[in-house]
Amino acid sequence: MIPRTIYAELWKELSSQKEMVFLTGPRQVGKTTLAKEMALSFTNNLYYNWDIIENKKQLIEEPTFFQNINRIDESKPLIIFDEIHKYQNWKNYLKGIYDQFKDDYIFLVSGSGRLDVYQKGGDSLAGRYFLFRLFPFTIAELSPHKRNIEQVLKEPLKGFDLNDIEQTEKKWKMLFNYGGFPEPFTKATETFYTRWSNNYHRQVIREDIRNFAQIKKIDAIETLFSLLPRKVGNPLSINNLAEDIQISFDSVKNWLRLFESLYLIFRIAPWTKKINRAILKEKKLYLFNYPFIQESGARFENMVALELMRAIANWNDYGFGSFGLHYIRNKEKEEVDFLIANNQKPFLLLEAKFSEDSTAKSLLSLQNTLHVPAVQLVNKKGVFKYLKNGKENLLIVSASRWLSSLP
């Protein structure tokens, strides 16, 4: 298994500041493996999984069972609660043990659903934990050398050429073909990926969604999900989807939120500030399992979106700023695929082009409006151009080359 170094470092940072840390992310992305790796840095540790029948019984009969751990020394034990959010009273349980035992233990809580969506109503866990998200492998995680965040914030277009170009390109092609989920990526065969992908979506929809929301119309949900790969990279019209599958608008809206909660999809909102005649449209859609997308250009854009989402999620979790990922589209049909903002201010424009290394006109125009650096990422080997756009700087570069050093 490939070591997930950037997440182990983030965990150490967060756990040094808060006694309870939540680890969340898609099913089969490696959360349990990572949690057990983290346990190795603690002399005293205990792994608990709600899905194991004996573990369920143990918690119900003796809620503070972890006190019985046989310690090797006097150091604080790490207690790992895996999939505990499936326990009906999990939030109150964690609140209670945190308030009582935070000085004596470190708690790591992992789960395949978004643990933070459960904060609505009842006793909130807000203020008692830090959360970080585990993503499928990205080219930056698979590359040994990365810039630090200070370098990126100061000069995002420079200092990125840190990794072996040939090896980076090879890993990028593997990601394009098999995605970043650990098992299909390491197996690296088309037949295994196809079997894994079909089974993965079936499990999440028929098991996790049914357990999560007690929805009966599973066939309609599967139909909805089957339509989404063709919608990637475009503003998603819920009305159109509702008409396509003859389901109410509210049902489709709620099901899309469920897909987000279980890390099947993610969406990014339009950026409208300082954009004349900006279109207040729907969010753009992307998948976590992007080889499911047949059209090559859309799959490439999805890869870039996931790379950027992983990066800004980590920056936010570290506390480096308040970063957001957006897209831009106006009534003149000018569009840029991505805008990274920090503290509600534009920071960097990015355009994803599958094969074109000539400058995108919309990127030039909107860069002159926002006055920020811009990058055009190309899914082609050996592209590296620095250009001037009036007073602004623009980089056209092979996607794998620039993305590989993102912290």
* Residue 185 and residue 115 in one domain: no
Looking at the 3D structure of the chain, how many domains does it have? 2
pLDDT of 94:
95
* Residue 111 and residue 28 in one domain: yes
Task: Give the end of a domain, one of 133, 156, 174.
Answer: 133
* Residue 79 and residue 151 in one domain: no
Task: Output the CA torsion 192→195→196→202 (10° steps).
Answer: 180
Asked if 170 contacts 404 with a C-beta cutoff of 8 angstroms, the reply is no
The whole-angstrom separation of Cα 379 and Cα 13 is 34
* Residue 121 and residue 183 in one domain: no
Task: Give the end of a domain, one of 74, 103, 133.
Answer: 133
Burial 200-228 (b: 16+ CB within 10 A, else e): bbeebbeebbeebeebeeeebbeebbeeb
pLDDT of 229:
96
Q: The domain spanning residue 100 has which CATH number?
A: 3.40.50.300
Q: Which range of residues forms the domain containing residue 281?
A: 139-403
The whole-angstrom separation of Cα 370 and Cα 346 is 7
Helix 165-178 to helix 190-203 angle, to the nearest 10 degrees? 50
Quick one: tokens of 2? 């490939």
**Mind giving me the DSSP string for 218-239?**
HHHHHHHHHHGGGGTTSB--HH
* Residue 220 and residue 262 in one domain: yes
Asked if 403 contacts 377 with a C-beta cutoff of 8 angstroms, the reply is yes
* Residue 21 and residue 148 in one domain: no
Place of tokens 């957006």: 326
* Alpha helices, DSSP H, located in 40-128: 53-61, 90-101
Quick one: tokens of 387? 């250009």
For 326, list phi and psi in degrees, rounded to 5: -135, 175
pLDDT of 156:
97
* Residue 205 and residue 255 in one domain: yes
Q: How many other C-beta atoms can be found within 10 angstroms of the C-beta atom of residue 29? A: 23
pLDDT of 117:
57
Handedness of CA 315, 342, 168, 286 (dihedral sign): positive
pLDDT of 272:
83
* Residue 112 and residue 76 in one domain: yes
* Residue 179 and residue 81 in one domain: no
pLDDT digits 0-9 by tens, 48-100: 999 999 999 999 999 999 999 999 999 999 999 999 988 988 999 999 999 99
Could you tell me the mean pLDDT of each successive run of 10 residues in the chain, 407 residues long? 85 91 94 93 96 95 96 96 90 94 96 63 74 95 96 96 97 98 97 96 83 75 94 94 93 92 94 71 94 97 98 95 95 92 96 93 94 97 96 97 97
* Residue 120 and residue 219 in one domain: no
* Alpha helices, DSSP H, located in 293-387: 296-318, 361-370
pLDDT of 103:
95
Report the DSSP beta bridge partners of residue 348. 340
Task: Give the end of a domain, one of 81, 111, 133.
Answer: 133
Burial 55-72 (b: 16+ CB within 10 A, else e): beeebeeeeeebeeeeee
* Residue 84 and residue 27 in one domain: yes
Helix (H, G, I), strand (E, B) or coil at 393: strand
* Residue 22 and residue 112 in one domain: yes
